[in-house]
């Protein structure tokens, strides 16, 4: 029996260690490969179900004692990773888990860009509880502008601050926005400020990370999912960028639920509010091609994946390209 030393962590460690990062990417690779079988097939529920099944199977091999705090709602007859579900092999640290087997199910079904499988882990109790407020107003920028912008400022002023921080004219600033009717006034403000708009159909986790890393866009603005905001915060922490959010209840009932839970709806939540731990991990694998990652590709008897793995404690961002023997994945890729 091996006696733990300073270089051999004991099994009772309460914090996730650096070796967890590459375990997580195995999980997102599995979900992406399973979901990619259904790219362009027009059936988002089947694609999501395949990704969920693969993610759950691989997640239960990860050395952690995890609880899903950002999942896919309450458990029912459909396959899903539900809030409160225990995941991992139970032998490692106690952690909060945030998952989205497919961020962009519609993108997958229609064969559009930017569908990802995502998985985030942080120390237990460190992920924000939105109390069933499903949407939030968001702003994401990279490290250069992180200390200058503020969600409470006018859109035009924030764009000018980003341009100044990046050392380029406003006309070269590109803002990522979800293509939704609710964002028509926001889009007008961005264009009147002189900046450019890049629309995404779905998948604002990918948009947030792209903004935080300066991967084709300079900032993300608009209202999107609160769970996606918390997942993205785990990644943004590793980049040195900034995510700010403000809860946006969709109706009076949701507003009252938020107030009853003690939320201040005027409060601007920072990256550190959304994930308080400085030791969190994020992994994502591309399902379809996008600005952030290439999608799953098939090359004869090989399946090729591209992933990104991040750890906030060290500020490390790794790009991982992997080849998988197709015959080993028949369980997940057969029709």
Closest CA to 95 of 11, 16, 13, 9: 16
Tokens for 17? 């260690």
Q: C-alpha distances in angstroms, 96 versus 64, 122, 144, 243?
A: 10, 5, 29, 19
Burial class (CB in 10 A: 0-12, 13-18, 19+), 327: exposed
Distances (CA, A) of 312 to 107, 164, 183: 28, 26, 31
Is 89 a known ligand-binding residue? no
Does 203 appear as a known binding residue?
yes
Of the chain, the end-to-end C-alpha distance in Å amounts to 45
Residue 104 in marked binding region: yes
The position carrying tokens 């995404």 is: 200
**100 marked as binding residue:** yes
135 is in an annotated binding site: yes
Q: What φ, ψ does residue 208 adopt, rounded to 5°?
A: -65, -45
Q: Any binding-site annotation on 251? A: no
Specify the DSSP element, H or E, that contains 206: helix 204-213
SS3 of 277-301 = CCCEEEEEEECCCCCCCCCCEEECC
60 is in an annotated binding site: no
Binding site for substrate: which residues? 103-105, 135, 180-182, 202-204, 225
Binding site for Mn(2+): which residues? 48, 72, 100, 103, 228
Binding site: which residues? 48, 72, 100, 103-105, 135, 180-182, 202-204, 225, 228
């Amino acid at each position: 029996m091996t006696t733990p030393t300073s270089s051999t962590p004991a099994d009772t460690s309460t914090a996730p260690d650096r070796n967890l990062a590459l375990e997580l990417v195995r999980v997102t690779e599995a979900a992406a490969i399973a979901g990619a079988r259904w790219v362009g097939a027009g059936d988002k529920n089947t694609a999501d179900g395949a990704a969920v099944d693969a993610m759950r199977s691989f997640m239960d091999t990860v050395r952690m004692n995890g609880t899903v705090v950002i999942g896919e709602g309450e458990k029912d007859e459909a396959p899903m990773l539900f809030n409160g579900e225990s995941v991992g092999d139970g032998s490692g640290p106690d952690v909060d888990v945030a998952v989205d087997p497919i961020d962009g199910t519609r993108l997958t079904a229609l064969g559009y860009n930017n569908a990802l499988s995502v998985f985030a882990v942080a120390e237990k109790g460190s992920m924000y509880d939105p109390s069933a407020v499903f949407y939030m107003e968001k702003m994401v920028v990279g490290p250069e502008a992180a200390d200058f912008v503020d969600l409470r400022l006018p859109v035009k002023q924030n764009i000018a601050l980003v341009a100044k921080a990046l050392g380029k004219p406003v006309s070269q600033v590109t803002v990522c926005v979800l293509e939704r009717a609710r964002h028509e006034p926001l889009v007008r403000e961005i264009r009147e400020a002189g900046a450019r708009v890049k629309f995404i159909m779905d998948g604002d986790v990918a948009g947030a990370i792209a903004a935080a890393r300066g991967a084709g866009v300079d900032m993300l603005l608009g209202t999107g999912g609160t769970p996606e905001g918390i997942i993205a915060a785990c990644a943004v922490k590793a980049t040195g960028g900034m995510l700010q959010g403000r809860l946006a209840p969709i109706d009076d009932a949701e507003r009252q639920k938020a107030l009853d839970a003690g939320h201040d709806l005027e409060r601007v939540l920072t990256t550190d509010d959304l994930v308080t731990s400085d030791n969190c991990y994020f992994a994502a694998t591309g399902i379809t091609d996008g600005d952030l990652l290439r999608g799953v590709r098939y090359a004869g008897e090989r399946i090729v994946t591209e992933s990104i793995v991040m750890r906030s404690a060290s500020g490390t961002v790794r790009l991982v390209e992997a080849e998988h023997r197709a015959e080993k994945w028949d369980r997940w890729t057969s029709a």
